[in-house]
Structure 1
Amino acid sequence: MSSRIAHLQLLAEYNRWMNDRVYSAASRLDPEELARDRGAFFGSILGTLNHLVVADTLWLRRFARHPRQWPQIAPVLQLPVPASLDAILFPTLAELRQHRGELDAWILEWTAALLDEDLDTPLHYTNSKGQPYCRELHGLLLHVFNHQTHHRGQVTTLLTQAGVDVGVTDLLVLLPELG
């Protein structure tokens, strides 16, 4: 396995681990607090978590149309296309968490199936405004994981401001200790 594949698999595992921590922390707030507009890019904690699901859904749909047509992410093509980046796909944390878990499982399975040569192949796609692009898959995957980290950082700040501690959030925790 190449170092790039191993790195992406680590990011997929970190993504799943952190989403689980964030959702566990968020579950300590009542629905009104989760939906309260806190002035973030996507308003509330629930709005920001929904945005991450929207963005991952859009990206996974693009990746599922790649010439390799990975079966691990094919189920995303059966999901409705989100209407906007700020769509509230799931109005409750429980529904959102269940769906987030499915997305994270698909991402983990998919990154385990990637081949190094896949990462160098171009992906032709259109953004949410219909503009066409063509970029290397590796860079796009790094963008998706970075996007997750960016908005999860916002959520952890919002949770902290609401009095909920997410705990350790460092990728360092998942890196093996070398004796």
Structure 2
Amino acid sequence: MHPLAHFQTLARYNVWATARLLESVAAVSDGAYRRDVGLFFKSIHGTLNHLLVGEHLLWFRRFAEGISPKVALDAEVEPGRVALAERLQAGATCWAPLIASWPEQRFAGTLDYTTMRGTPVSLPFAATLAHVFNHGTHHRGQITAALTALGQPCPELDLVYFLQTEATAP
């Protein structure tokens, strides 16, 4: 599979998985949603805020604008549940058009950016973009584990289920 097609698939998967996760999270009480359940960013809310920071406020801007904003990875940038879910879903939809705008050769290049500590870095473009989607999958997995621990149902988020859904869509 060519990199452009591969990353467009991952961007569509990201939208799908984010929507399914947020549907499940919406059923959780506010107390459980904000409770420290032992995740790296403590709560479901903290982890969703981290996804907003990492995927949308940091990495998206690095890829789309070539800048590295200064924002703490554990920042609560959106305190409201509904607004946070809306921002996550809206942010997820931004990746596919950005990816589609890049010429095929861009995937063989590098991404040059500055780390949170101010260190310049140059990494393989495609591998770093893969990190963004892998990072989202990792934290969605943490949240589904938290949902299970809280006795809540959680969605099946495996990529193969998304591919099956796409294959059977009209």
Question: Would you say same fold, with TM above 0.5?
Answer: yes
Q: Take 2:163 and 2:87, find their aligned partners in 1: how far apart are those partners? A: 27
Residue 55 of structure 1 corresponds to 54
* RMSD, aligned CA: 1.8
Residue 23 of structure 1 corresponds to 22
Give the 3 Å change call, closer, same or farther, for CA 90–98 of structure 1 in structure 2. same
2:94 counterpart SS class: helix
Q: Take 1:112 and 1:4, find their aligned partners in 2: how far apart are those partners? A: 11
- Tell me by how many angstroms 1:65 deviates: 2.9
Unmatched tracts of structure 1, length 5 or more: 67-76
Question: Which among 83, 91, 112 is matched to residue 124 of structure 1?
Answer: 112
Give the 3 Å change call, closer, same or farther, for CA 161–82 of structure 1 in structure 2. farther
Paired letter, 1:106: C
- Tell me by how many angstroms 1:41 deviates: 0.3
Q: Take 1:26 and 1:49, find their aligned partners in 2: how far apart are those partners? A: 10
- Tell me by how many angstroms 1:82 deviates: 5.7
Q: Take 1:100 and 1:154, find their aligned partners in 2: how far apart are those partners? A: 16
Whether the 8 Å CA contact 1:54–1:82 is kept in 2: the answer is: no
Q: Between the two proteins, what is the percent identity of the paired residues?
A: 36
More off after superposition, 99-108 vs 111-120: 111-120
1:40 counterpart SS class: coil
Match status 1:168 vs 2:156: yes
Whether the 8 Å CA contact 2:21–2:155 is kept in 1: the answer is: no
Q: Take 2:25 and 2:10, find their aligned partners in 1: how far apart are those partners? A: 22
Residue 44 of structure 2 corresponds to 45
Whether the 8 Å CA contact 2:35–2:42 is kept in 1: the answer is: yes
TM-score scaled by length of structure 1: 0.85
Match status 1:149 vs 2:137: yes
Paired letter, 1:141: L
Give the 3 Å change call, closer, same or farther, for CA 82–158 of structure 1 in structure 2. farther
Match status 1:107 vs 2:98: no
Unmatched tracts of structure 2, length 5 or more: none
Paired letter, 1:153: G
Paired letter, 2:71: A
Mapping of residues 61-72 of structure 1, within 5 Å? 61-66=61-66
Residue 98 of structure 1 corresponds to 86
Q: Take 1:50 and 1:86, find their aligned partners in 2: how far apart are those partners? A: 7
Aligned residues: 164
2:37 counterpart SS class: coil
